[in-house]
Chains A and B, each alone.
Chain A
Amino acid sequence: MQHGKYRFIAGFLLIPLAVYGVFVISPFVQAIYYSFTNWSGLSSKFEVTGLRNYRRLWNDELFWKALGHNLLLLVLLPLVTLGLGLFFASMLNVGGRRRRNAPVAGVRGSSVYKIVYFFPQVLSIAIVALLFKFAYNPNSGALNSFLDAVGLPWRPEWLGDPDLALWCVMAVMVWSNVGFYVVLFSAGMSAIPKDFYEAALLDGASRFQTFFRITLPLLWDTVQTGWVYMGIMALDGFAVVQIMMDGPGPDYSTELLTYYLYTKAFNDGQAGYATALGVALLIVTLLFAGVVMKLGRRERLEF
């Protein structure tokens, strides 16, 4: 039975592997190669310049600033999004009053909420970003009009304020992603057998305890996957910044690695340097993946 098994599998995988090689691996290799050149991106002529791009990178204030913003997003974005996602999902599934015949239930109207939460996911990120751009308009946008209506004297400049701009961007990313995780976690929670909760409740466990002792551990793998995906969002963030800020924001307050890379490749004609930035981003991404996988490793609970 074992004989020829691998050859058999490889035969099936040949085409996908070839596609993967051509469209994923080879661009990687090419990009790493270009990062050692002074390629402009506008002509096929270039020279190999060795480590020059990387030395420049090391001394580039803007690179470090952009990296800092990305890392801030990387820490906060998954934390906030998944935290909210978990909170909402548990309210929808196990947060409600106890009803007869059911040890746990969601708050009233939870099925409606589930749909409402999912709405932002249906909108394309371009539309979401544009909508928020209008909402953030400090002169006639929804947010400041609201502040006006409730009589608060505070009139922030939102996207025009370097201290607020990045938070505004982050809020949009959270808003547009939370719904997906609510649905994902809800699905995960509904797979948890209800008798676990029943037993815990009989033992007198509080809501708080059931969440941290039962729900979260049994959902851990899903959370981890979500964490990785939100991490990718945080390291990207290009679309939101591009549409809402049309640039690096006031005083470079929303400069992200991806946007900086884009500027270098498409505005300044320095594609070689841009690919070096891309390689730096790749390294950060790999480190992140490694850390998440390492930290997240736990004994799997079978149920």
Chain B
Amino acid sequence: MAGQVTSTGRTSELSNLQFALLMALPVLLFLVLVVAYPLGYALWMSFQQIVFFGGYRTNFVGLANYATMLGDDKFWWSIWVTVRFTVESVLLAMAIGLALALLLNRPMRRPGLIRTIIMLPWCVSLYGTGIMFSYLATGQTGFATAIAFFFGADRPVSFVNRQWVIEVLAIGNAWNMAPLVAFFLLANLKTIPTRLYDLAAIDRMSPLETFWNVTLPPLRFTLFVFTCITTVLSMKLFDFIFVLSGGGPGTASAVMTYQIYKISFRDLNLGYGAAQSFVLLFLIVGSTMTLYALWGRREAAR
């Protein structure tokens, strides 16, 4: 990109920032269209009461939708369920992902085939995962019933109940996400020089010490990034939960996304639904910022 000499003799050359902005302009415009507009529209909706019957109309209600939320027990319950589901999902996904990565990093026969098989769960749609886990976890078709019947029991064993439904959902979610985590961690593992393991052996480190001092350090940043990603994905998850448990039994698995769906599309209360969706947005942004403050900043500084 060349500048040009003006009549004053000064070169009016674009600065790096100006050039970058110019190049990014189409993308910025696109983002305004696909992100800012819907976001702004949703914000506007959250201050309205939207009525479809007796003629479509909107009434400005200020912060009434947000105020209603504060006294809504179901809203607070859905936040608790969301947090519980997210924490369990993230811990499981990271643990399984790390275990798979370590396994795949070992010498093995037909590594390509094994990697492909391990990657398969990630390729299954969340809808499909929901159906599969509902079959696996309910008493009528589940594996626990099959085992119980094998040992002579005559009553089905179900995990889709108040006590365990969140755990079933978290396991299914982690099953779906863990392969992706594993492959990024595996890529990291491949960059660790083998001589470091040789040195660890010379130092007579135990396997646990080797893992802690040699393997884990280069993985930490990837672990942080994927903790953030799986947190966001878990908090905004809907279809898998809708298919598997439908927010139930009762409201046992009514996460925020399910609650927002119910309010917006079953009760057709779009204003209140939009207000709750902003709380979810802040919860997601707040969680990732907290993760960064507590963990990411430290990893980035290393």
Whether A and B are associated in the same complex: the answer reads: no
Residues of A at under 8 Å CB distance from B? Answer: none
